[in-house]
Amino acid sequence: MVEAWLEKNPDALGLRREDGASVFRELALFQDYHGLPAFKNALARFMSEQRGYKVAFDPSNIVLTAGATSANEALMFCLADHGDAFLIPTPYYPGFDRDLKWRTGAEIVPVHCTSANGFRVTRAALDDAYRRAQKRRLRVKGVLITNPSNPLGTTAPRADLEMIVEFVAARGIHLVSDEIYSGTAFGEPGFVSVLEVMAERGAAAADVSDRVHVVYSLSKDLGLPGFRVGAIYSSNAAVVSAATKMSSFGLISSQTQYLLAAMLGDKDFTRSYVAENKRRIKERHDQLVDGLREIGISCLESNAGLFCWVDMSHLMRSRSFAGEMELWKKVVFEVGLNISPGSSCHCREPGWFRVCFANMSAKTLDVAMQRLRSFVESTTNGAAALRRAAVPARSISCPIAIKWALRLTPSSGDRKAER
């Protein structure tokens, strides 16, 4: 759909105005790190559209960054000092261990969620994480959530968001809501932005409004990860000012902003794109879930995202994290499917895996399901394949992939410490 739009609107890609005049010179010779006004206005409208126009965005409160990775890191620099902590519900995106910690010196304290309630965040879990942080003499500066969740593929219920806002208000800390999958919600209950909850609080939100921040990106909702387009939205003037200055280390190119200003400014295009994108995601989601169900594998019920949270614990030789890694290696290197082990997402229950379904064709997904079916049948009818612990050296990249996954996986010592 994006390619079709570009073919119909060659001036945007050719850096020309509607009258045919070139804007190349002005884009090439100078860049304001505040961003092109036309792009910020179009992005603000698109973000509102993705939220059903229930939230209005002020372009002056938007800070442009080179993707959500830069946005999250910039917020850590703005909100936390070296050694300060953020509470993050598990399971969470493994990249946060890199994005939030490596250069900022901030710490992450997991908020342990379980399958007993579908991995929803509870007040008890938040209080427990806060106490554990205090026990480690860490100053908690905020809570970071992903909504919709990566890796769960679920939207946060309104009641849960209200509870989290109450928690940060009571503790006097910040709340960062990473909403980069907001446009992928395809089923009920629909997506509710934390800003919608804040708007409903009315005057009661005054005590916490400058401590709630949203991260957004076009990588998922518009399928443009290579364009590196991210944003911070905050009503806190000090955060906007500091983050804007920091954005000079990771700017969005002027020609990218110009192109996307034209695309997002086309209301007919964005309206049809948003609807069609959700339809296709649901179709692919159902294809994966139905295929897994046929071979005896269940998924957490989900309504958003580009992936499913899959329970493969019954295929493990032992119900342990060692068993999970053994199964992961077999699926990746023998079956040839790229999935993520739950332990890399800091899940405390071994046997869960994140399986992506939207970054491939329907035909490729069919091939993947056929491979997985053959693997499950082989492990069911003859357990010899599952008992083999050795990983075949099919590629020189295998040790690198294992090293990376293990690096993102909490050590047994870390898990014991968290207990």
Active site residues: 93, 178, 180, 220
Q: CA 298, CA 361: separation in Å to the nearest integer?
A: 22
Asked whether 57 and 47 are in contact (CB, 8 A), the reply is yes
Tell me how far CA of residue 90 lies from CA of 125, 239, 348, in angstroms: 10, 26, 8
Helix %, strand %, coil % of the chain (to 5)? 55, 15, 35
How many CB atoms within 10 Å of residue 394?
11
Q: CA 15, CA 12: separation in Å to the nearest integer?
A: 5
Pairing assessment for the beta strands 298-299 and 107-111 based on DSSP bridges: unpaired
Q: CA 63, CA 234: separation in Å to the nearest integer?
A: 8
Peptide bond into 148 cis (omega under 30): yes
Phi first, then psi: give them for residue 100, nearest 5 degrees.
-90, -20
Q: Helices (H) and strands (E) in the chain — how many of each?
A: 18, 11
Q: CA 90, CA 324: separation in Å to the nearest integer?
A: 17
E strand segments, 25-122: 62-65, 85-89, 107-111
